[in-house]
Amino acid sequence: MIEGKDVVRTVNSTERGRWGEGIAARHLENHGYQIVERNWRFQKLEIDLIARHERDWVFVEVKVRKTGGLEEALASVDLFKQQRIIEAAHQFLKRRLEPQANTRFDIICIEFDTKGWRIQHIPDAFISMP
Protein backbone atom coordinates (compact mmCIF):
# COMPACT_ATOMS: atom_id res chain seq x y z
CA MET A 1 0.00 0.00 0.00
CA ILE A 2 1.33 3.44 -0.95
CA GLU A 3 0.60 6.60 1.01
CA GLY A 4 0.61 10.30 0.21
CA LYS A 5 0.24 13.60 1.99
CA ASP A 6 -1.84 15.72 -0.38
CA VAL A 7 -5.43 15.68 0.82
CA VAL A 8 -8.64 16.16 -1.11
CA ARG A 9 -10.03 19.59 -0.29
CA THR A 10 -13.49 19.27 -1.83
CA VAL A 11 -16.78 17.92 -0.61
CA ASN A 12 -18.20 17.37 -4.09
CA SER A 13 -18.13 13.65 -4.92
CA THR A 14 -17.39 14.32 -8.60
CA GLU A 15 -14.33 16.41 -7.72
CA ARG A 16 -13.25 13.84 -5.14
CA GLY A 17 -13.52 11.14 -7.81
CA ARG A 18 -11.40 13.16 -10.25
CA TRP A 19 -8.82 13.74 -7.49
CA GLY A 20 -8.69 9.99 -6.85
CA GLU A 21 -8.43 9.17 -10.54
CA GLY A 22 -5.45 11.53 -10.77
CA ILE A 23 -3.71 9.73 -7.91
CA ALA A 24 -4.55 6.35 -9.47
CA ALA A 25 -3.21 7.45 -12.87
CA ARG A 26 0.07 8.68 -11.34
CA HIS A 27 0.37 5.41 -9.40
CA LEU A 28 -0.07 3.38 -12.58
CA GLU A 29 2.37 5.54 -14.57
CA ASN A 30 4.95 5.18 -11.79
CA HIS A 31 4.64 1.41 -12.20
CA GLY A 32 5.15 1.32 -15.96
CA TYR A 33 1.58 1.71 -17.22
CA GLN A 34 0.64 4.05 -20.05
CA ILE A 35 -2.69 5.82 -19.49
CA VAL A 36 -4.63 5.74 -22.76
CA GLU A 37 -8.01 7.11 -21.65
CA ARG A 38 -9.59 8.72 -18.60
CA ASN A 39 -13.34 8.55 -18.06
CA TRP A 40 -13.95 6.78 -21.36
CA ARG A 41 -17.66 6.64 -22.16
CA PHE A 42 -19.86 4.72 -24.54
CA GLN A 43 -23.56 5.51 -24.26
CA LYS A 44 -24.30 4.99 -20.54
CA LEU A 45 -21.17 2.94 -19.86
CA GLU A 46 -17.95 4.34 -18.38
CA ILE A 47 -14.46 3.19 -17.51
CA ASP A 48 -12.44 5.36 -15.13
CA LEU A 49 -8.98 4.59 -16.52
CA ILE A 50 -7.80 2.58 -19.50
CA ALA A 51 -4.12 1.75 -19.60
CA ARG A 52 -1.58 -0.36 -21.41
CA HIS A 53 0.82 -2.45 -19.39
CA GLU A 54 3.30 -4.35 -21.50
CA ARG A 55 0.97 -6.04 -24.03
CA ASP A 56 -2.16 -5.97 -21.86
CA TRP A 57 -5.13 -3.64 -21.87
CA VAL A 58 -5.98 -2.76 -18.27
CA PHE A 59 -9.43 -1.41 -17.41
CA VAL A 60 -9.44 0.25 -14.00
CA GLU A 61 -12.29 1.12 -11.66
CA VAL A 62 -11.24 3.77 -9.11
CA LYS A 63 -13.00 4.06 -5.74
CA VAL A 64 -12.36 6.87 -3.26
CA ARG A 65 -13.54 6.54 0.34
CA LYS A 66 -12.83 8.02 3.72
CA THR A 67 -10.45 5.95 5.83
CA GLY A 68 -12.15 2.77 6.94
CA GLY A 69 -14.23 2.50 3.77
CA LEU A 70 -12.09 0.01 1.87
CA GLU A 71 -14.45 -2.95 2.28
CA GLU A 72 -17.45 -0.86 1.27
CA ALA A 73 -15.55 0.44 -1.77
CA LEU A 74 -14.71 -3.07 -2.92
CA ALA A 75 -18.26 -4.26 -2.30
CA SER A 76 -19.59 -1.44 -4.49
CA VAL A 77 -17.96 -3.11 -7.52
CA ASP A 78 -20.64 -5.77 -7.47
CA LEU A 79 -21.54 -8.17 -10.29
CA PHE A 80 -23.79 -5.58 -11.99
CA LYS A 81 -20.99 -2.97 -11.97
CA GLN A 82 -18.48 -5.56 -13.20
CA GLN A 83 -20.77 -6.47 -16.11
CA ARG A 84 -21.07 -2.79 -17.09
CA ILE A 85 -17.29 -2.34 -17.00
CA ILE A 86 -16.78 -5.51 -19.06
CA GLU A 87 -19.35 -4.39 -21.65
CA ALA A 88 -17.68 -0.96 -21.85
CA ALA A 89 -14.30 -2.66 -22.33
CA HIS A 90 -15.71 -4.78 -25.18
CA GLN A 91 -17.07 -1.63 -26.84
CA PHE A 92 -13.72 0.12 -26.43
CA LEU A 93 -11.77 -2.79 -27.92
CA LYS A 94 -14.18 -3.11 -30.87
CA ARG A 95 -13.21 0.42 -31.88
CA ARG A 96 -9.45 -0.19 -31.77
CA LEU A 97 -7.56 -1.14 -34.92
CA GLU A 98 -4.95 -3.21 -33.11
CA PRO A 99 -4.30 -6.92 -32.86
CA GLN A 100 -6.13 -8.71 -30.08
CA ALA A 101 -4.40 -8.34 -26.71
CA ASN A 102 -4.94 -9.68 -23.23
CA THR A 103 -7.31 -7.74 -21.01
CA ARG A 104 -7.38 -7.27 -17.28
CA PHE A 105 -9.80 -5.61 -14.87
CA ASP A 106 -8.27 -3.88 -11.84
CA ILE A 107 -9.70 -1.93 -8.93
CA ILE A 108 -7.83 0.89 -7.25
CA CYS A 109 -9.12 2.03 -3.87
CA ILE A 110 -7.98 5.27 -2.31
CA GLU A 111 -8.73 5.89 1.36
CA PHE A 112 -8.25 9.40 2.70
CA ASP A 113 -8.53 11.44 5.88
CA THR A 114 -7.30 14.84 7.05
CA LYS A 115 -3.70 13.59 7.24
CA GLY A 116 -3.34 12.11 3.77
CA TRP A 117 -4.29 9.11 1.69
CA ARG A 118 -3.30 5.56 0.89
CA ILE A 119 -3.85 3.55 -2.23
CA GLN A 120 -4.55 -0.14 -2.74
CA HIS A 121 -4.19 -1.55 -6.26
CA ILE A 122 -5.93 -4.87 -6.86
CA PRO A 123 -4.87 -6.35 -10.21
CA ASP A 124 -7.18 -8.93 -11.83
CA ALA A 125 -9.94 -7.98 -9.37
CA PHE A 126 -12.53 -9.71 -11.56
CA ILE A 127 -12.60 -11.58 -14.85
CA SER A 128 -14.59 -11.55 -18.06
CA MET A 129 -15.81 -14.85 -19.35
CA PRO A 130 -15.68 -15.19 -23.16
pLDDT tens column, 22-31: 999 999 999 9
Q: What is the pTM for the complete model shown?
A: 0.89
Cα–Cα separations (whole angstroms), residue 62 to 36, 68, 82, 130? 15, 16, 12, 24
Q: Which residues of 73-104 are buried (b: 16+ CB within 10 A; e: fewer)?
A: bbeebeeeebeebbebbeebeeeeeeeeeebb
* Domain span at 34: 2-124
Q: What is the domain count for the chain?
A: 1
**How does pLDDT run across 46-59, given as a tens digit for each residue?**
999 999 999 899 99
129 part of a folded domain: no
108 assigned to some structural domain: yes
The CATH number of whichever domain residue 6 belongs to comes to 3.40.1350.10
In a domain, 130, yes or no: no
- What string of H, E and C letters represents the secondary structure of 56-86? EEEEEEEEEEECCCHHHHHHCCCHHHHHHHH
